[in-house]
Amino acid sequence: MTRKFCSVLLTTALACLPGCGDKDKAEDAKAKDSRSDVAASKRTGKTGKKGKKAQKKKDEASESSKVASPEPKAPTTAAGHLQWLKYVPAEADSVGQIDIKRLSSTEIWKSNREALTNDVDGRRVLAALEACKLDVDALESLTLGRLGEQLVLVIVGPGLTKIDNFACMRDAVKADGQADAWKVEERDGEKVVVFANEAAPEQPMVGRIANGEAFVVANEGWQTAVKALIAGSGKPASGGPLKDLVARADTSRTVWLATKLSSEDRNQLEPPFNEIQDVVASLDLGKGLALDVGARVGDAKQVDSIKTQAEVTYSQYKGLALMMGVPESITNKVAFSAKGDQVVMSLALTEAERTQLETLGEQAVAAQAQAAAAPTSAGSGATAAPGAGQATSETGSKPAKPAGAAAKAKPADGAKAKPADGAKAKAADAAKAKAKPVDAAKAKAKPAETGR
């Protein structure tokens, strides 16, 4: 149940929840109309009955707009959510955010939310969360920061600032037979929530309420740094080395990420891609899908060559996507451009195209799972020769090294593919290569998944 809870909480942070209401939009429109009337009054010097009649018409128009207004545009994260970087240590080399309110109106969230509701375990967890006043339908934002294995999540929303609500969920977890998976403990006079970390048992995740405004979860290794930030000391990511990088990201979008490549990261890239210093990515799912990934190059002279090589690499996988049924109208929408010291990859899809791509991805994943479950035939161990851009090692084949901005920024991880073993393995690999772009579109949107 704990695993399902984390899935619900973090997937919820990727797909549902109410955005700004029509009421807010109508009030904004009314305020704007009022300002316009004042300005008009000053110009004409006329007030009184005519002015009141005009105002009445404006009010009536505003009221009617409440019924017929389109989906309201959520406020930008720059104004509301960037403040939560204050709880991310400055040492982080990657930061990102999900504007859950804005995400709530998207079709991808609605479909994921429906899937949770149709799942037996999902319904049970959602019911427990509701009973414990941890309302996933009111979450506002999710902020993440990481440095290697160190991870911090800042979750904002009603119910997350009361320890009794977490104690309630602890009891629900115990009732499900997982008493050690979720605990409420007292440390240094403060009650905290301790989550078991199956991947690294020695590094449990510890959550604490930060100044009555957010729930901050971090690895044991970052507890000291996070506690200092909550206390008002220490240096946050908002004022650290990533400050300029965050400023370059489009933080007004539903999801954004900024990551600095370490020397180790760059050493794993083939020239000229090893000249990439950092990457910013932004994803909008409001009307279809809009993805932009920008990679800054250390040597500006290499920008054009990296752009050209990225186009060559993409063309190799574009053919594979076409064979898997992805329409050329979609594959042709991936574009690379050189902007100053950056190589930028862009993709814009309509809602119909995004849905089509998602469906193809689900089919590919299902086919891959079916192929993996099938008995291995004799002689299938022969390894096919690696294709362009792929490398081999003494242990066999390994994934091609990331190519360009798209490869380092996780939204474009779909550009990777593995050499296949035999005809059946080729089909499985094709499915995998196809599935990745869809997964990338969703999470990169899912910076949150790292915290599951």
Examine the pLDDT at 172 and tell me if it is beyond 90.
Answer: no
Examine the pLDDT at 120 and tell me if it is beyond 50.
Answer: yes
Q: What is the pLDDT of residue 186?
A: 92
Report the C-alpha gap between 302 and 319 in whole angstroms. Answer: 26
Examine the pLDDT at 58 and tell me if it is beyond 60.
Answer: no
**Pairwise pLDDT comparison (392 vs 181), residue with the higher score:** 181
Examine the pLDDT at 388 and tell me if it is beyond 50.
Answer: no
State the amino acid at position 267 in one-letter form.
Answer: N
In terms of phi and psi (left: phi > 0; alpha: psi -120 to 50; beta: otherwise), the region of 55 is: alpha
Which whole-number Å values give the CA distances from 361 to 119, 186, 289, 358, 433, in the listed order? 21, 45, 15, 5, 9
Is there a contact between 159 and 12 (Cβ–Cβ < 8 Å)?
no
**Pairwise pLDDT comparison (372 vs 35), residue with the higher score:** 372
Q: In what order do the strands lie in the sheet with 214-219?
A: 182-187, 190-195, 205-210, 214-219, 150-156, 141-147, 94-99, 255-260, 276-284, 289-297, 342-349, 335-339
Mean pLDDT of 150-160: 94
Examine the pLDDT at 46 and tell me if it is beyond 70.
Answer: no
CB atoms near residue 5 (< 10 Å): 25
Q: What is the pLDDT of residue 178?
A: 67
Q: What is the pLDDT of residue 127?
A: 87
Q: Whole-number mean pLDDT of the chain?
A: 73
Report the C-alpha gap between 397 and 418 in whole angstroms. Answer: 7
Report the C-alpha gap between 84 and 143 in whole angstroms. Answer: 7
Give me 390's structure tokens. 């792929």
Top-ranked range on mean pLDDT: pick from 61-75, 275-289, 402-416: 275-289
What are the pLDDT digits (tens) for 221-257? Answer: 999 999 999 999 999 998 888 999 999 999 999 999 9
Mean pLDDT of 254-266: 94
Report the C-alpha gap between 439 and 203 in whole angstroms. Answer: 27
Share of the chain above pLDDT 70, in %: 64
Task: Name residues whose C-beta falls within 8 Å of residue 367's C-beta, 6 or more positions apart in sequence.
Answer: 427, 428, 431
Which whole-number Å values give the CA distances from 257 to 8, 186, 373, 410, in the listed order? 22, 34, 35, 9
Is there a contact between 144 and 87 (Cβ–Cβ < 8 Å)?
no
Q: What is the pLDDT of residue 244?
A: 92
Q: What is the pLDDT of residue 400?
A: 41
Report the C-alpha gap between 96 and 447 in whole angstroms. Answer: 7
- Band the pLDDT of 179: cuts 50, 70, 90: low
Examine the pLDDT at 40 and tell me if it is beyond 50.
Answer: no
- Band the pLDDT of 114: cuts 50, 70, 90: confident
Mean pLDDT of 161-169: 92
Nearest CA among 184, 175, 84, 78 for reference residue 125:
175
Examine the pLDDT at 75 and tell me if it is beyond 50.
Answer: no
Mean pLDDT of 46-68: 44
Mean pLDDT of 280-295: 94
Nearest CA among 442, 436, 412, 449 for reference residue 361:
436
Q: Mean pLDDT check: name the lowest of 51-65, 152-166, 219-233, 393-407.
A: 393-407
- Band the pLDDT of 276: cuts 50, 70, 90: very high
Give the largest CA-CA distance in the chain. Answer: 92
Q: What is the pLDDT of residue 347?
A: 96
State the amino acid at position 405 in one-letter form.
Answer: A
Mean pLDDT of 358-380: 78
Runs of H (alpha helix) within 69-218 = 77-80, 100-103, 107-118, 120-131, 163-175
- Compute the C-alpha angle 439/442/446, nearest 5°: 100
Residue at token pair 């109106």: 105
- Band the pLDDT of 389: cuts 50, 70, 90: very low
Nearest CA among 10, 231, 260 for reference residue 141:
10
- Band the pLDDT of 177: cuts 50, 70, 90: low
Count the helices and strands in the chain (H runs, E runs): 16, 14
Residue at token pair 């990727």: 14
Nearest CA among 181, 159, 161, 162 for reference residue 171:
181
Q: What is the pLDDT of residue 2?
A: 38
Is there a contact between 290 and 437 (Cβ–Cβ < 8 Å)?
no
Is there a contact between 401 and 418 (Cβ–Cβ < 8 Å)?
no
Report the C-alpha gap between 180 and 228 in whole angstroms. Answer: 28
Examine the pLDDT at 417 and tell me if it is beyond 50.
Answer: no
Examine the pLDDT at 384 and tell me if it is beyond 60.
Answer: no
What are the pLDDT digits (tens) for 322-366? Answer: 988 999 999 999 999 999 999 999 999 999 999 898 888 888 888
Top-ranked range on mean pLDDT: pick from 103-107, 108-112, 349-353: 349-353
What are the pLDDT digits (tens) for 431-445? Answer: 444 444 334 333 333
- Computed from CA positions of residues 277, 246, 293, 407, in that sequence, does the dihedral angle turn out positive or negative? positive
Q: Mean pLDDT check: name the lowest of 6-20, 104-118, 339-353, 376-390.
A: 6-20
